[in-house]
Amino acid sequence: MSGTPHDMCLITPCQVAVAMGSRIQIVSVISGQLVNDRWLYLPHECRGVAHLQGYLYVTSGSALYKYNLTGTLVKKMYVGTSDSGNCHEQYSPDNYQNIYQSSINPNVML
């Protein structure tokens, strides 16, 4: 793995997505070994990543994007007015049906 990971999420029981810089690295476990599967190069910073129902949700710090697993943008979900510097996604406790993006700004939850 090259670069500094900002966040990671589980895609399948044997595959994770790791957010680093302006790319997402997909890492698989094959025969007990970590294998660099592929890179998704994105046109923005990747500070957080979450997987839900076959899609990757990536935050740049001020925006939330929905990508398919090949790295194609499906939808820009939210765009803030400025870079908060600390936005990330997390799964909700309701059986992984929702993703929430939090911010260091007080009283902000998307």
Residue pLDDT, tens place only, 20-72 = 999 999 999 999 999 999 999 999 999 889 998 899 999 888 888 999 999 99
Domain chopping of the chain, boundaries: 7-102
Rounded to two decimals, what is the model's pTM? 0.79
Q: Helix/strand/coil (H, E, C) string of 66-110?
A: EEECCCCEEEEEEECCCCCCCCEEEECCCCCCCEEEECCCCCCEC
Token pair belonging to 10: 């589980």
